[in-house]
Structures are given as structure tokens and as C-alpha cells.
Structure 1
Amino acid sequence: MDIAHSRRMTGHSEEEATSQSVKEGREKRVSFPPDEQMVSDFVERRAELQEADSLTLTDIILAYKQSCEKHQVKPNPKALDQLKQITCVTDRARCFDLSGERLDYCSCESLEEILKSVQFDFISLQGAELEENGASSLLDMFLYYESATHLDVSSNSGMGFSGWLSLSHLLRQSGCLWRLDACNMPMVDYAAQALSKALLTSRLTVLHLENTCLSGKPLFTLVGALKRNVALQELYLSENNLNAYQDSMQLGDLLKYNSTLKTLDLGNNTMSDSGLEEICDALSFQKTGLRTLILSNNHITHLGMSHLQKVLPRLKTLETLNLGKNNLENRGIHTLKESLMINRSLLQLGLASTGITCEGAVTLAEILAESPQIQRLDVRQNQVLAGGLMALSLALKINRSVIRLDLDQHLKEEKEDFLVETQKTLLSRISDLCTANATAAKGMALRPASLDLADCAETTYPLPTQTAD
């Protein structure tokens, strides 16, 4: 057993190592020098290689191939192709993408020769069919070598107890990992407990847990830790069947006691109007914190807008609110009218596919005419005809803040043919007015929008770069 592998094993407590040995079905007896000596040996060895300029890409590829031969696996073509594109081994490479590659235990072990020499900004193991021993080994390597700042382990439901234990330890100890994606796999009890324990002290700022069956006890466990977490800024919980009862109460508690979260994505769940009431009650406790709230596709109706109506005037930090794909209708927009006029923090409002017609568009035009700060409004996939477009166009002649108004670009059927052509003219005019506002805003200290509403309306998220808050 080499020094590096021995060092990785010391990361687990005696209790964790015992549990891992039981899971693997064999006893481990390891003898190694003190941690300080091993760390010193490794750092000095790597520094010497770099100073002598002897750590070349050719050396790394050769070492990887030899490691594959030792572990009796074929070198991964995808890994080799990416290694050949690296231009500098002393800086972090952009990406190491192993998504969709089947990584058994030996394949994982063979990757150490790469990880000990190259660090990455992003490592993707999505759908890599990781089993328990392989996942545990690989995640231990990531910790020891500080391999990634962004890690994606999504769609690996076979990680098992040891894999989640190693992931928990990575999250607790890593000094560089700021984002974790762990989507599309059930959050069973031991996984929820391991993740929650890690979140008590981790430095993560972004966590994606979409489609992980979080409803119920797993969410309760997670929220218990997040109420004490002071690092996490973005939490994505879409497609988790979160309900209007216990789940909404737990999320309400989270918002009451956590003032660090800036983005909360609850899209594509079943919160409904009663769940929205819990969320709104909790929002009144947010003095500093939440900037983006995504509630799209949550079975919310116009009746739920009465809860938002009460809290919106008091919100001082919320900048993006996405209510798309909920059946709000014109009645819901009318309910929100006064509170949206009073609110002075909201920069982006998502109302795509909410059952709005020209009547609702007129109400929105009245809101825009009074708003000095809204920068973007999304009303796509609604039945807004020439009358509604005319009202929005007139509002933009007064409004100076809106730089983007999202509307369907295909012309819709009208009772009179000439109104179809009018739609085309008005869409062009609205676009020109938004462009004029955007041009005028250049050089001014407008607050940046916190999240693109086009992304909020979808269920997938592009890879962002980390930005300073």
C-alpha cells in the first residue's frame, strides 16, 4: 500500500473505518507513519518534481497507463483524450468529465495517477455506475488531492453506505469544494444523515439535490442541519414531490432560521396554495438573505396570491421571483398589483404560462408604469394579444428600468386580421424600448440580476462559474 493511499485512509475516524471494513467484508490492518510526515513527504515530492520541470503531461499519461495495467483495466479513452488537451499541469484544468463512463473499483483506483498530478475546476461522475468500494476510494482521493472545486455525483444510486460516508468526509474537510451536484438518486436514510452531518461544517456554497425523493424524513434531516449552516448560498430542490403539509412547514422553518441562503429553488413540486402560505409566513422573517425564490409549477392558484400580497411589501432583499407554470390567471395578477407597486427590491418576475390574457397584461402594464426597479418580466406562453401588447408598449414609454420583456414571438390569432399585423409592430416596438432602456442603463450602477428567468423556467441548469457575492 503506497503512502498516498495510507494517508487517504486516515481521513476516516476509527468508527467510520470499522463500518467501512464491515461493508467491504474484509478486515483492514494498516501501518503508516504520522500524518504530518506523510503530508510533508507528499508535498515535498510534488514540489521537487514541479521545480525540476519533470512532471510533464507525458509522464502523467504513462503513469496512468501503467496504473491501469497494474489494476488490470483498460485505460479510459475519454480520460486520455481530456488529458491530452491539458496545457498546464501546475494550474487547475477546467474539467474532467467521466459522466456515463462505467467506473468499477479497479477503474477508480487506476485514476489516482491522474489525480495526484492534476487538479480540476469541475469533475463529473454523473451516471458513472459507481459502486460502494469504488465510490469510497475515489472520493477519498478527491479529498486528499483537493481534486475539484465543483463535483457532480448525480445518478449514482449504488454508492452505498461507504460511498456516502466518504462524500460526507470530503464535504466536511475539503478546503476548495464549493459546489456539489447529487441529483437523480434516492436520498435514503443513511445518505440524508451523512449529507446533513457534513452540512453542519462544510464550505459548500451551492448544492443541487433535484429529483432525490427528499419529501418527508430526508427533508426533515436536511433542514435540521441547514438551519445551523452559515456557508450555503444556493439550494436547488426541484422535482422532489415536496408537499403542502410537513414539507412546506420544514421549508418554512429553514427560511425562518437561516439568513445565509440567497437562492432557493422549489420548482416542479406540489406546494400548492397552503404550502405557499407557509413559505410567505417564513419570508417575513428574512431581514437579510434570500434573493431568488423559484416556485414554478407548484399547483399554485390565484388564491395563493393573497399570501404573497401580504409579504411582498415587506421584503427588502428578494430580487427574483418565478411563479411560472402556475394557474394564477388575471385574478392572481390583480391581487398582486398593489404589493408589486410598493415593493422596491424585485428585479425579475417570472409569469410564463400562468393563464394571463390581455386583462392581466394591462394590470402588468400598470405595475411597470409605477415600478422604478423591475428589470425583467417574463410573460411567455400566455394569451396576450394586441390589446395587452399595446398596454405594455405604452407602459415602457414611461418605464426606464425594464431591459427585457419576454413575450411569445409567434403571432396569435385575432378576431380581426389587421390586429395580427399590429401584434408584429408592437412586439418590435417593445423590443426597441427595452433596448433603449438597456443602452441608457450602461454605465449606471444597476444591481445585476441574480438569476436568469429563462433558466428558472427550465428543469436543467447550465454550469455556472463561481462569482464573488
Structure 2
Amino acid sequence: MINCISTKKTIIFCSRLSDCSITEEGYKALASALRSNPSHLIELDLTGNDPGQSGVKQLSDLLQDEQCSLKTIRFLKSPAAEEACEYLTKVLGTSPLFLTELDLSEDKLGDLDGEKLSSLLMDSHSKLEKMKLNNCDRTEKSCSVLATVLSSKTILKEMNLNNSRLLDSGVKEIFEGLKNPVCELKILKLSDCSITEEGYKTLTSSLRSNSHLIELDLTGNDPGESGVKDVIDLLRGGCCKLKTVRFLKSPAAQKACDHLTEVLGTNPLLLKELDLSEDKLGDLDGEKLSALLMDSHNKVEKMKLNNCELIEKSCSVLATVLSSKTILKEMNLNNSRLLDSGVKEICEGLKNPVCELKILKLSDCSITEEGYKALASALRSNPSHLIELDLRGNDPGQSGVKELNDLLQGPNYSLKTLRFLGPAAEEACKYLTDVLHIKNPLLLRELNLSEHELGDTRVNQISALLQDKHCTLNTLMLKNNSITEKGCAALISAFYSNPSNLIELDLSGNKLGNSGIEKICLLLKNPQCKLKQLKLSDCSITEEGYKALASALRSNPSHLIELDLTGNDPGQSGVKQLSDLLQDEQCSLKTIRFLKSPAAEEACEYLTKVLGTSPLFLTELDLSEDKLGDLDGEKLSSLLMDSHSKLEKMKLNNCDRTEKSCSVLATVLSSKTILKEMNLNNSRLLDSGVKEIFEGLKNPVCELKILKLSNCALTEESCSALASVLSSDSSSLKDLDLSNNTLKDSGVELISDGLKDNCKLEKLCLSDCSITEEGYKALASALRSNPSHLIELDLTGNDPGQSGVKELNDLLQGPNYSLKTLR
């Protein structure tokens, strides 16, 4: 046949070679023959043959050759294919039969009928293996065209529909075509085609049915909750030929996904919560992680990076993530050492308007006041999204809580929940607010809970709040709150954990005891303790507690400047132990209050000036030679009544007593003191003065045991008042010296009346009192009436007459009498 065509004498106008099993080699031979003898053949029909890669081109080139008479070459079998070819040639500017890749992007497909396009693609002369229809506004009809193409037996291996708005309805049409057994498509690209979860379900269902597809690109679509899982399950199931599915749009996102899959053992695209705690983030780049979280296939709404040693670089990664448009709603960084520098990095992300984070947890992240300020500033810059912020376990300094708390009040801020406190501290805060009606305890610098019946239980509860660094109290008053050693231990433990803000503490009126004080001493020894004022009035502290306080203040002398110990019992050395600290240049202590009342304080100051030493150091107060001066009785009584006074003996010998000063002494004796002895020898009391003193002795609170009134210008006139004292049930007097006073027998007779009833006197000195025989007899009679107490009687310097000595001496021999010494 070829030889015939090649012969110049042969004249053939039309040659029909349809379905003659001609291949590329035959097409080349025909082209060569027609070039040799181009003048006669005008029509050639090769429909139904296989031109290979170059056959169509070889012959089509002859149509352009002016020497060749060939006008018509038929390649396509059906008119429909012919129409499609003509349409596409017009659109593309070249015949689709020359192409292996057909690019109909930007809606070039137009209104071309699916049957016609299929006819073209099914024809043996079509060598199209790849079709691109990117960036097209697909209608249901055009998707139906594609479905028809895919349902036809073609050699099409790849179809790209990227960025074409297929929607789920379009995907259903296309995958109907894929289900057809004749479809041999291997690569399908559906990036950014507005496919949702429903479309993913359709494609997984179709791929299970029948498919040659080995690669599927779904980047830029929205798989909903289950889309990714459905596809991944399909890959794992081995029920289809699919080998590669692309979900992620960028290589950076893919790298992040691969890294996290390796770290977590599961694909992060299957997760809504991404747990990278314990430093699983590793060296993952922020841009890559952001790319992953920004991808539409990512459904991570919560990210946990708890217990991480976050460096500045990793905080920068998080800032990049927060600055990106993701669906991330919660980030947990609890117990990760961010520091203020890390928080500032994260705040840069929070400021970005695209950040839609709603919950941020930063508990125990070593954040200080500076970090709180940065957070407050960031939330002011972008106030619309964050609704919950957890800062438990950090240290806000003086202003941190207020900086953020102000945001809760602002109408423009979404922040609704600000967590500073753990459950126990929160409960304590609620108690203060709801029960005690204390507003915003965390914003207070001074908290006065005095006189509330808190007890140890409530104090334990409040201690949970006090130990939290968000509680920045400078002053705490817990006066008369029924706190014991147990409650004190809880308080001090709290302050030991959070010692740096407290400047003043008042625990007065609570029975803390020495064991409670020992706990307080632990706080005082803490180098971080900044306490300046400590009030421990009436806390049942004894000498042991005073010693413990002195020791604690020596070990950490730099802060406490004022200590109140009024109403406690310092024992013999307590006052001295602490007072010595006032002389120590290393110690900041400036004021120690021992005395409860201003009156006692005045008396102490006066006597210190007079004596050159504090009366609180003394057990014997010697105010002889008129050192008492004009000191008021009430003031002196206040001093002697104070638990810090250890005065048991007072000497006022050789004084020129006035009625006023005797009244002072009466007041002292009428007060509850530990005074046991008073010496007024050689002081001119007179009867009027001593009567004042005896009134004091009659007071039931008076515990004076020894009274010396030698040479006080007393006469028988004062003896009636003395007898009343001696016979009183309440009198504690054991030793009375009235020597060198002109009492005479009449006075002694009155004294004797006092000795008869209830008298507890054990020693009586009446030497040189002008007593005669009659007085001796009165004394003997009195001692016979009340023989059980008086054991020593001194009558030297008196005149017993003929029988006086015998009268009394007989008593020494009687077994029923206590008298042992008679002078």
C-alpha cells in the first residue's frame, strides 16, 4: 500500500484505512510516502488505529505543507470526539491530539459536553494522561462531565482540580466516576476545593468500592471532625491501592506533622488536644508548628506544654504559633519555667489581632511582677478573646494582682476568670469574702480579723491563702481569735512559704504558749523575713519563750524593730535577755514593750531614771531616802501589777512620808502584785499615814507577808486599825515589826485583840514600844486564845514588871502553843 502511494504514476484521491491495526510505525511510513508523492491524495481516514506518541503529529504536519495535496485526515472515530477536538483546538490554540497533558484551568472547559469529551479521550488517537482543571468555578453540570469522563475507558492517569469550588456535591459526582471499574485514574488532586466532612466520607466510601487511585491530594479542604480519620483508616485497612494522601498544604506543616507523629506515636491530625509536655516540643521550629496548626486539616484546639524547661527560643516558637491564624483555643504551660522573659515572648503573640486563644494556663511558671505587667499590657492591646487566665503558683509582687484584676472590671475585656489561688486558698478567700464580708482580699495590704472567733480550724483555712504569693499582705491582725499553738504552727508555716511581704503581725490575746513562740522564731530566723512589728501581748509566753525570741533575733537581727510582749510572764531572766538586744549594734530592734499600760510605762521610766537601772530587772526596789518622789500611786501600782514586774520587796526607809505618799502605798497594797515585803523603817508615817497603809493591807488581793514599821512615829491611835488587819481572814501578813514606836499598853491591848481571832501572824517585834506589865498580860491572854500561829515575839526594851515575863514565858512551856522564841 505504501509503495503504491509512493509511486508517482499512482493517482489515489481518497484512502480509507480505518481500524487497520496501524501503529506509530505505519503512520511514519504514510507520512514519508506522502512527502515523496504529495500531489494527489487529498483525504485520509485513519480512525480506529493507534498513532503512538508521534503518529498524529507526523501526518498533521503534511496539512501545513503547500506541496502536499492532502486536505483531510480523519483520526477520530466519532463525530462527538471530533466536535470535542475542534472545540478544544479552538480554546487551546493547538490540537489536543498532540498533547499528553490537557490544561483546561481557569474554566476553559466551558460548556463542552461530557459525552463528547469522553469520546475524545476514549479515542485511540488521544494520548491525554493528565488533565488540569485548576481554578475553575465548577457547577454541578461540569462535575457531571468529569464523572462521565472518569466512567469511560481512557488512558487518563491524573486529574488536577485544585482551587476549584467543587463542594461536597461535586465530589459525589466525581467519585461516582471513580467507582466505575474502567476508571484507571491514579492521581487525583483536589486541593482547596471547598470539600467538607461529608465530601471526605463520600470519597472514602468510593475508594473502598473500586479504585486504581494511588495518590490523593486534599490539601486546603476542611475534613471536619472525622474526615482525616476516615481517610487514614482507609490507608491502614489495605482495602484500596491508595498509597499517598496529602492533607497539609505546606512542606513546613508536613515536616511538623512528621516530627510530632514520631514523638507522639500518632498523627497530630487525628488529635484535638496536642500534649507536648515533658519537653516533647524539642527543636521543632515555630514556623513549621504554626504552618501545621494553621492548616485546615489541623483540629488541635488545645495544646499542653506542662513541665517543660522552656528556653527563650521555644517561647519564641509559641509566640509565632499565637501570632498565626489557628483554631487554637487553649494553651497549658503549667509548671514550665517560662520566667518573665518567656512570658514577654508569649505576650507578643497574644497582642496579635489574629490570636483567638481563650484559655491560657501559666501556673507555677516562675513569673514575677514584671511578667504580670506584660500580660496585662498584652490583654489591653487585644482584649477580645482570652476569657480565662491561670497564674497560680507565681509571684505577682506588689502590683501584679491589681494590674490584671482591673481587666475583669473593664467592659471592653473578655476576661471572665482569673485564677491566682489553689483550691484551699480559694476556699479561704471565699470565706473572707462571703462570711466576713472582706472585699477583694488579694488587693489588701492590711487585714484585720481581730475579735472574730476563728479558732485553729479557720486559721488553718486562712493559712492556705496567706502562703500563696498572690497574697501580699503587709499587716495582719489576729487579736483575740482563740488561736492556739496548732493554729500558730499553720500560720507560721504559711508565712515561711511567703515571708517577703509581711511587715506587721499582731497575734495578741491568743494562747500560743512557748511552743507557739518557737514556731514564730522559725519565721524570725528566715533571712527572707521582713517583719518589722510583732505583737504578742497576752499570749501565755513564759521565760522559755523569751529566751527563744532573743536567740532568734540574734541569728537574724536585721529587720524587727518593734516587739510587744505585754501581758506575758518573762520569769527571772526574760526581760534581761531581750533588753540586752537593744544594746546590740547589729540588732535593728528599737522598741520592746513589756508593760501593758501607759501608767506602768511612766512609772518604769521614772524609776529607771531615779535608780539608774530598769525596775523590771529587779526583785528588790529600794526607794529609801525619799526616792519615790512624786510618783503617782496608780502608776506605781500599774507597774507592780504588771506580769513583767518581779519586785517582791520594797524599801522606803528613812523617808519623810506625807499623807499623799502613804496613800500611794495604800494603793500599791490594794493591787494584785507579787509584793511580799515592805520596809518603811525610820519613815515618819504618823498614825494618819499608817492608817492609809493598813487600809491597803485589808484588801483581799494584798499578799504582803512582811511589814517593817520600826521608828515610824506611831502611837496607840494606829493600833486599832492594825488590830482590824490582823484579825482579817484575808490578811497574808506573817512578819510585823513595830519596834521603836510609842504604842504603850493601851496600844498593845488593841493589838492583842487582833491576835486573838483568825490572826496568821508568825513573827511580831514590839521592842522599845513603852510596854509595861499590863501590856505583857494582854499579849499572854491573846496568845492563849489563839495559840497556833505566833512563833516569835520580841519585847526587848520594854518593862514587864513583876509578872510580865512569867506570863509569857509559861507559854513557851505549853505543848499547845506555837511560840518558840521570846525575846
TM-score with structure 1 setting the length: 0.46
- Structure number with greater Rg is 2
TM-score with structure 2 setting the length: 0.27
- Normalized per residue, the structure richer in helix is 1
